[in-house]
Structure 1
Amino acid sequence: MSQFPVALPSKETHLMTLSQEGPLFILHLHHKDNRFDTEFCLSILKALQIVEDYFLSSEEISDMALVTVGNDKIFSNGLDLMHALSYSPFMDVYLTMLKRMLTFCIPTVAALNGHAFAGGCMLAFAHDYRVMRSDRGFMCMNEVDLPSALHPGMAGILRHKTTPKTYRDMILQGHRFTAQQALDQELVDIICPGDQVLDQAKQLALKWAPKAKSGIVYKQLKDEMYTDIVRLLSVPFHRLAPKM
C-alpha cells in the first residue's frame, strides 16, 4: 500500500499530491494553472488507482470518499492546447481520465477553489458533487470562442448534468457562470467563500462517504447511470480528427 502523502507522478516531478485524512482522500492539484497534458492526466489516473486499490484491499469496507481541489485562484484552466495539438494520443488519455472519475468506486467531490474552464470544467462535472468558491472564479466551457468542437463524450456529460437551457448557454454562448448562477442552475451543490471551500467539500464528502459501504455496487450504479456517456467517452478521438 502507498504511504501518504503521495507525490505524483513522482517526487522529482511533483504535479499533485494525494493525501489521506481519515475516510477521505484529498487530491490536491498544484501545477501552475493545472492544465491537462498527458503526464497530468496519467497522474490523476495513478491517484485514482491508488485509492481504488486501497478500497478493494480493505477487509471491511468503511466510509470513504475523494475530494479534488486546485490551487490558489484556479481549479483548472483546461487543456494544454499546444500539447493536445502536438501529441495525437493525448485526447484519448484525457477522455479515459474523465470516464474513470465519472464512474469511480467511491463518492467524489470537486472543491472549486477558483476558475474551472473547459477541460477543468469537465473534470468538475465528472465528480459526483461540486462545491464552488463564491467570491471569485467562473465555470465556463469556452470552446465556441477558441474555436473547438466538443467530443461527444464530453457533450454527453454536460447534457446529463445540466438543463437544456443551461447547456445551450454553456455551449453556444460560452457563458461564464458565477458561483451564484452555478448554484441557481444546479451546476454546483454548495457555494461559500474561498477560504471555506475545501472544508465545505470535506464536510459534503463525509456526508456521502458512508455510501462507499455498498462496496462495488456504488460503481455498478454509476456504470448504469452513465452507460450512454461511457460509450461516448470510449469513442477514439482520432476518428473525429478530420471533423475538428
Structure 2
Amino acid sequence: MCTLEKRGNIYVLTLTGTDDHRLNPPLLDSLQSALRRLRSETAGGGGPCALITTAHGNYFSNGYDLDWAGSNEDRLLLMSLVKDLISLPMPTVAAVSGHASAAGFVLALCHDYVLMRKDRGYLYVSELDIGLVIPAWFGTFLRCKIGSPAVWRDVVMRAEKLTAEVAVQKGVIESAHGSAAETVRAAVALGSSWWGESGTDTCTARTGRLCLLVYWMRSGLVTVRST
C-alpha cells in the first residue's frame, strides 16, 4: 500500500513494503485515497507545497499486476490515477528508487520532475519483451512526456532499458543520484526550492500538465465528470 507524510511544506507519498509494487485495485485505491487527502489538506491555501513520490525496496513499480489487468475497464483505473496526478495544483517530483517498468514507468512520468538512483534500476517499457500489446494510451502518454521521437521509438518500439544516467542523457529524467536515500533527499530539496524565486518553474510545470490534459481530452482519452 502507501503512506502520505507531511514534512513542512513537502508531502511524501511512499509505496510501502519490499515487493515490486505491482499496480492492482488495492494499491491504486490506496494511492488515490492519498491524493484525495492531499487535495483536502491543501485546499485551504495554506501556502506553497510540493509532492514527492517514492517507494521502499528495489522497485519503484514493476507495472500492472498481470493477474488482475485483464480487462479494459480495470486498466482505466490507472488512467484515472494518472489524471489525478497530472491535475494536482502543485509541483510533483518522482524519486525513483529502483526499477520502473511498463505502467510503473508511466507512473513515474506522471510527475513534473523525475529523479532516479543510479546504483540500481531501469526505466523500461517491458510489454514488447513479454509479448503483450502496449495500451494505445501508454504510447500517447509517453509521446507527450518524452520529447525526442528517436528516444520514444527506442523506448516504446525497441524496449530499450534506460539506466538513470542514460535517461538523463536522453532527456527522459532530470537527474541521477548515488542511492535511493540520496534521490529522496534531492527530490525534497528540489520541492523546497520552489518557494519564492522559482515560481516560474512551478508555472511552467503546471502549464505543461494542463496542455497534456487538454490533449487527452481532445483525443477522448479522458472525460470530465460533472459533480
Is the 2:91–2:206 contact (alpha carbons within 8 Å) kept by the matching residues of 1?
A: no
Is the 2:118–2:165 contact (alpha carbons within 8 Å) kept by the matching residues of 1?
A: yes
Partner of 2:74: 90
Whole-angstrom CA distance in 1 between matches of 2:144 and 2:32: 23
| Aligned residue identity for 1:41 | L
Partner of 2:154: 169
Residue 233 (1) aligns with residue 221 (2): yes
Whole-angstrom CA distance in 2 between matches of 1:142 and 1:112: 17
Per the alignment, do residues 153 and 88 of structure 1 end up closer, same or farther by CA in structure 2, a change over 3 Å counting? closer
Structural RMSD (CA):
2.5
Is the 2:112–2:205 contact (alpha carbons within 8 Å) kept by the matching residues of 1?
A: no
What does 1:25-36 correspond to in 2, within 5 Å? 25-31=11-17, 32-36=19-23
Is the 1:106–1:209 contact (alpha carbons within 8 Å) kept by the matching residues of 2?
A: no
Deviation at 1:142, TM superposition (A): 1.1
Partner of 2:32: 45
What does 1:1-244 correspond to in 2, within 5 Å? 15-31=1-17, 32-58=19-45, 61-85=46-70, 89-162=73-146, 163-194=148-179, 195-208=181-194, 222-230=209-217, 231-234=219-222
Q: SS where residue 131 of structure 1 aligns?
A: strand
Where in structure 1 do 4 or more consecutive aligned residues deviate above 6 Å? 215-218
Whole-angstrom CA distance in 2 between matches of 1:101 and 1:209: 21
- Identity of matched residues, %: 26
- TM (norm. structure 1) is 0.81
Whole-angstrom CA distance in 2 between matches of 1:125 and 1:80: 19
| Aligned residue identity for 1:53 | S
- TM (norm. structure 2) is 0.87
The superposition leaves residues 129-172 of structure 1 with CA deviations (integer Å, 9 ceiling, x where unpaired) of 01110111100011111222223322222111211111111111
Per the alignment, do residues 186 and 216 of structure 1 end up closer, same or farther by CA in structure 2, a change over 3 Å counting? closer
Is the 1:107–1:209 contact (alpha carbons within 8 Å) kept by the matching residues of 2?
A: no
Q: SS where residue 83 of structure 1 aligns?
A: coil
Runs of 5+ unmatched residues, structure 2 = none
Whole-angstrom CA distance in 1 between matches of 2:25 and 2:194: 31
Partner of 1:239: none
Whole-angstrom CA distance in 2 between matches of 1:127 and 1:218: 9
Deviation at 1:229, TM superposition (A): 2.9
The superposition leaves residues 65-89 of structure 1 with CA deviations (integer Å, 9 ceiling, x where unpaired) of 000001121111111011112x653
Runs of 5+ unmatched residues, structure 1 = 1-14, 236-244
Is the 1:152–1:232 contact (alpha carbons within 8 Å) kept by the matching residues of 2?
A: no
Deviation at 1:217, TM superposition (A): 11
The superposition leaves residues 179-208 of structure 1 with CA deviations (integer Å, 9 ceiling, x where unpaired) of 111000111111111130110111111123
Q: Which shifted more, 154-163 or 63-72?
A: 154-163
Whole-angstrom CA distance in 1 between matches of 2:195 and 2:171: 21
Whole-angstrom CA distance in 2 between matches of 1:224 and 1:129: 16
